[in-house]
Amino acid sequence: MKASVLAPGRIAAMRPARLVMYIMLVLCAALAGYVYTLRTDGIFSCPAAGYGGDRYLAYCQAPQYGDYDHGAFWFALEPGIGDYLARAEVLFLGNSRVQFGFSGAATDAWMRALPARHFLLGFAYWENYTFERELLRRIRPHPAAYVINIDDFFETRETDVARSVMQNDSLRGHYRVKRAWQWPHRLLCSPVPALCGGNEAFFRSLSTGEYQRFAAHWEHVPVAYEQNVDRQMLADYTGRASQFLDSLPVSRGCIVMTMVPSSRTRMGTARALAQALGVDFIAPELADLTTFDRSHLNADSARRWSTAFFQSAGPRIRRCVAERRGTES
């Protein structure tokens, strides 16, 4: 009888403790699930090795992160990002192929020797002039020379990511959250890389716009050159390309068009377009170049190719920079 009388009291006394334990278990499970999601689908699935100096995470191959680069520029989220672009004396335009083709020591060395400030304004997601044209209208840079990678640049289809940021100002907060996550990502994973995964990531320099890629997977697929001319593409591009060039604050003599090599380099069409527009076309056709994904040059190939490009295009760029400085003095 004594035991049976005390049992309800004991049970009643134990209920709050059990409730607290249950709540703690639920919270721990939820936290573990959230941490797991961050590690597999969020920013922590990508390495943090590219931070440092003036570099930010432009892209993380993860379902819950992806692109930050477009929003960083469109919403001016990175301090001084518009100022660096506005002060550039040589401005490179195009998609991600121009980013990987000109990112590296060869471009930096050539520009330092000139010397001139430069900026690589290419974007991933097969970006084209519809987005970069609007950025130029917003920021209004006045470079002395432009280098334009023709590769799909004059397509009119807005990419999904560009359309989203240009048409939906409410995404500003979404991109601010992405930027905020870079702080704990850098704080935790830079000293302890094992905390983060190895998904593909691009980091961008604020001062020059160059990309640095970190990924576990690299290919070595050779580039190929196509010399035929796509007449339909040429007809589609010529008019809108001419209007775009007329909007730039330089003469066509200070615009150089190029074609960064890939596994399918439409050299013939690019050359014909430049000729129709009356601008220089400089795109070295080097042997034994390779891409890391059938699309973008590997680092060594980019170094060799960009070195050859500046050997040919350098005099024109140098003259344009000197003329601009002469008119400003």
Flag whether 160 is in a domain.
yes
- Read off the CATH number of the domain in which 146 is found: 3.40.50
- pLDDT of 216 reads 81
Flag whether 129 is in a domain.
yes
Domain that includes residue 320, residue range: 49-328
SS3 189: helix
Q: Across the 329 residues of the chain, what is the mean pLDDT of every consecutive 10-residue run?
A: 50 59 56 52 95 94 96 96 95 97 96 96 96 96 97 95 96 96 95 94 97 89 96 96 97 98 96 97 97 95 98 97 84
The dihedrals phi and psi of 67, each to the nearest 5 degrees, come to -80, 135
Flag whether 23 is in a domain.
no
Global pTM reads 0.88
Tell me how many domains the chain contains: 1
Other Cβ atoms less than 10 A from the Cβ of 125: the count is 17
Q: Render 35-80 in DSSP notation, one character per residue.
A: HHHHHHHSGGGS--TT-BTTEEEEEE-STTSEE-HHHHHHTT-STT
Flag whether 109 is in a domain.
yes
Flag whether 31 is in a domain.
no
Flag whether 24 is in a domain.
no
The answer to whether 206 and 63 are in contact (CB under 8 A) is no
- pLDDT of 58 reads 98
Flag whether 104 is in a domain.
yes
- pLDDT of 254 reads 98
The dihedrals phi and psi of 60, each to the nearest 5 degrees, come to -130, 125
Flag whether 222 is in a domain.
yes
Calculate the alpha carbon distances from 171 to 166, 174, 185, 266 in Å. Answer: 9, 5, 21, 36
